Amino acid sequence: MGARLRLLRALCMCSALAIALPARPPSVTIGALFTFDSVIGSSAATAIRLAVDDINRDATLLRGTNLSVLMQDTKCSGFVGTIQALELMEKQVVAVVGPQSSGIAHVVSHVVSQLRVPLVSFAATDPALASAQYPFFVRAAHDDAFQMAAVADVVAHFGWREVTAVYVDTDYGRGGVDALGDALEAAARARITCKAAFPPGADSAALVDLLVRASMMESRVFVVHAAPDSGLDIFAAAHKLGMMDSGYVWIATEWLAAAIDSSSAAASWRTTAMSRIQGVLTLRQYTPDSDAKRSLEARFAAAANRQNATAEAAGSMMNAYGLFAYDAVWMAARAIDQFLGDGGNISFSADPSIRDANGSALRLSSLRVFDQGEQLLRKVMLANFTGVTGQVRFSGRSLVNPAYEVLNVGGTGVRRVGYWSNGTRLSVAAPSWADGGAAPPSNGTQQQQKLYSVIWPGDTTAPPRGWVFPNNGRPLRIGVPYRTTYRQFVSKDPRAPDGVSGYCIDVFKAAVALLPYPVPVSFIPFGDGVKNPSYGELVQRVAGGSFDAAVGDVSIVTNRTRVVDFTQPYVESGLVIVSPVKATGSNEWAFLKPFTPGMWAVTGAFFLFVGAVVWILEHRFNPDFRGPPRKQMVTIFWFSFSTMFFAHSEEHREHPWSLRPHHLALRRAHHQLQLHRQPDLHPDGAAAVDGHPGPRQPPLQQRPHRLPGGLLRPQLHDGGARRAGVAPPRARHRPVRRQPAARPR
């Protein structure tokens, strides 16, 4: 009975769950917007079909729901792309894969934001699309901000400072060049000196005229940011003008690698286009090798062979955009599966703000709003899986782990010379990430950023200088401090040929004279001539482009090295003392010069102070310090100043006494002045020495004793001794053992 109840309860729970969760729809439709007849579109079309087939064969994904895709051709037109997007919206698609063009993405993003349909693009790389203005735009590839950071690191690696940007004048081109300018300033302290923009669909004559004007500038480093279908015309024009020879540097963004990968097997490509791009550096979005990637590329080649009838097009490879298009479809499918698994219901409703005007045939009223579009968008942004391009996960609104391959065109193919990633920057080792897609810490130093050797245009391996003197260029503007002090270093000088003079100017001219080519310069004084100018402001003027360089006594400090480059210091003073040089004579009184009047006064005051102290201590007992006041003053002065020339001591003989430690004596360095306390006298203190009797001494009572106040004779009675300030000595006799005389041998 209990088992039946448990079974009945389980059946009730299952039926309640079935009632709570709506049934999955039998099919779900997504849209795809791209240009069919293009380098990117031809690869993306095959990749999207293969992705839909793989998703429908996967039993663990969209369980019971079939995924279908509707493809619309935008024909590289913003207007046509908008019309095709509206047609997709009429068919109530839940998501759109594409478009490939950044310009069309800007327009279509407004449409999908109004109708709440997620737009997952695999090739629109304009950084401006990451703005909050386009909340339903999701980029399933890396934007150009990372690609331009890689280009800037290449420029910094070879030490170039000026770049000419050649780009298509569209949202895609302008956004990429803006990102390049920011990256150059941040990574290499370089700048774009010339922006050569050409309109979409420009003919050969327009491109030749553009490159002629660009070649008149001093920069020989060209960065080409264009579409794969029109970018090759730029190199055809450059080859015609002789700009693919030695001395030139050409860096193409990832569009060139996509064009090479898509047509690598065509015989016409190898004989014509490849000969025009020898020595070019290009980038390719890095995708790690995997079994899934190799399987997809093999199936792509087989499908391309079946679809293309001509032998010229057969054997085309999948480019990086095709790989990202494949993962974009999987991203949308996984989001739909999670949305349906959470009980989501797909429904559309009319928007009252969208209606047809009187007599309009646009049928705008047929457009419907996807009610659950925001929920599906959140599922898309939570994507976290491993696809053919690597780890697919978002950080903010960008994919994690941006990385690129640095390729060098040579012969009939390309050669990898390094990698770039957001974590390791330039490196010859392939990027690797820890579990979970976290990038390793950046090594951060320019010395660790390295590439393999590059073969430049003209078949040279030496890195080009990257600049020449322009035909219509201007002299270098050199800022010079207009000093008012220490003008010997540098300052304005109307009498000089260049208007400035000084030691720094002489060093600069000597260094320029060593160059194997002339350098026209123009010295511009900086300052008002009333006070010394601000050197920090001068450095900022150089960093800001007001001056090309600065010559002067500019100190090299840390905050200045962050914005400008310094030469090696040619004056290094360290810690010094600066004093005027005066010719002085020497004589016999030179030793008195260090003594100032104040020092003489203090020295004399100390002498008088010492004489006064001695007089206070001695005048009561010593008759030499007594007498008339005049005599006492003379004695004090004489005693004080005579210490500079006399030692005030006399030779003392050894008395046959020994002073006990508890009877101390204080002696002053003055003749006939010896200050004593009560001595402990022993008459036999100097008796036998080495067996011989000591010198014969008179009795103790008859020996004179030198005490304060003069000679004290033993005839003085005790009272006299006490009046003299000395207690009568108490002689303590002890026997002395004499040594016997040595016997003769």
Dump pLDDT digits (tens) for 331-381. Answer: 999 999 999 999 889 999 988 888 766 656 667 778 899 999 999 999 999
pLDDT of 688 strictly over 60: no
- Residue 630: the pLDDT is 83
Question: Using CA atoms, how far apart are residues 517 and 469, in angstroms rounded to an integer?
Answer: 9
**Do residues 70 and 322 touch, judged by C-beta distance below 8 A?**
no
Residues 6 or more apart in contact with residue 607 via CB below 8 angstroms:
640, 641, 643
Among 372-386, 457-471, 616-630, 690-704, where is mean pLDDT lowest? Answer: 690-704
Among 94-108, 148-162, 629-643, 658-672, where is mean pLDDT lowest? Answer: 658-672
| Mean pLDDT value across residues 667-688 | 43
Each residue of 201-257: pLDDT tens digit? 899 999 999 999 999 888 999 999 999 888 899 999 999 999 999 999 999 999 999
**Do residues 617 and 583 touch, judged by C-beta distance below 8 A?**
no
Give the chain's count of helices (H) and strands (E).
20, 27
Question: Using CA atoms, how far apart are residues 414 and 80, in angstroms rounded to an integer?
Answer: 36
Indicate the pLDDT class of residue 718, thresholds 50, 70 and 90: very low
Buried b (16+ CB within 10 A) or exposed e, 516-544: eeeeebebbbbbeeeeebebeebbebbee
Q: What is the dihedral of CA 302, 304, 308, 309, to 10 degrees?
A: -10
Indicate the pLDDT class of residue 689, thresholds 50, 70 and 90: very low
pLDDT of 162 strictly over 80: yes
Question: Using CA atoms, how far apart are residues 101 and 167, in angstroms rounded to an integer?
Answer: 15
Q: What angle do CA 388, 277, 301 make, to 5 degrees?
A: 30
Closest residue by Cα to residue 707 from 688, 724, 683: 724
pLDDT of 137 strictly over 90: yes
Indicate the pLDDT class of residue 450, thresholds 50, 70 and 90: confident
Query: What letter represents residue 578's amino acid?
Result: V
Backbone angles phi, psi at 625, to 5 degrees: -100, 15
Question: Using CA atoms, how far apart are residues 599 and 167, in angstroms rounded to an integer?
Answer: 82
Residues 6 or more apart in contact with residue 178 via CB below 8 angstroms:
127
Question: Using CA atoms, how far apart are residues 251 and 338, in angstroms rounded to an integer?
Answer: 43
pLDDT of 295 strictly over 90: yes
- Residue 150: the pLDDT is 95
The model's pTM = 0.69
In which residue are the tokens 């100017």 written? 505
Residues 6 or more apart in contact with residue 292 via CB below 8 angstroms:
387, 388
- Residue 700: the pLDDT is 47
What single string gives the DSSP state of each residue in 205-228? HHHHHHHHHHHTSSB-EEEEE--T
Provide the token pair at 45. 């079309």
Query: What letter represents residue 496's amino acid?
Result: A
- Residue 727: the pLDDT is 46
- Residue 313: the pLDDT is 45
CB atoms within 10 A of CB 474: 10
- Residue 699: the pLDDT is 53
**Do residues 296 and 326 touch, judged by C-beta distance below 8 A?**
yes
Radius of gyration of the chain (CA): 51
Higher per-residue confidence, 3 vs 586: 586
Environment class of residue 219 by beta-carbon count within 10 Å: exposed (0-12), middle (13-18) or buried (19+)? buried
Q: What angle do CA 86, 90, 91 make, to 5 degrees?
A: 120
Question: Using CA atoms, how far apart are residues 588 and 573, in angstroms rounded to an integer?
Answer: 37
pLDDT of 725 strictly over 90: no
Three-class SS of residue 550?
A: strand
Provide the token pair at 254. 């990832």
Question: Using CA atoms, how far apart are residues 420 and 53, in angstroms rounded to an integer?
Answer: 34
pLDDT of 687 strictly over 60: no
In which residue are the tokens 């390719």 written? 284
In which residue are the tokens 């990633």 written? 421
- Residue 434: the pLDDT is 56
**Do residues 206 and 198 touch, judged by C-beta distance below 8 A?**
yes
pLDDT of 308 strictly over 50: yes
pLDDT of 653 strictly over 60: no
Mean pLDDT of the chain: 81
* Range ranked top by mean pLDDT from 497-501, 647-651, 706-710: 497-501
Residue 99: asked if its preceding bond is cis (omega within 30°), the reply is yes
Question: Using CA atoms, how far apart are residues 82 and 110, in angstroms rounded to an integer?
Answer: 10
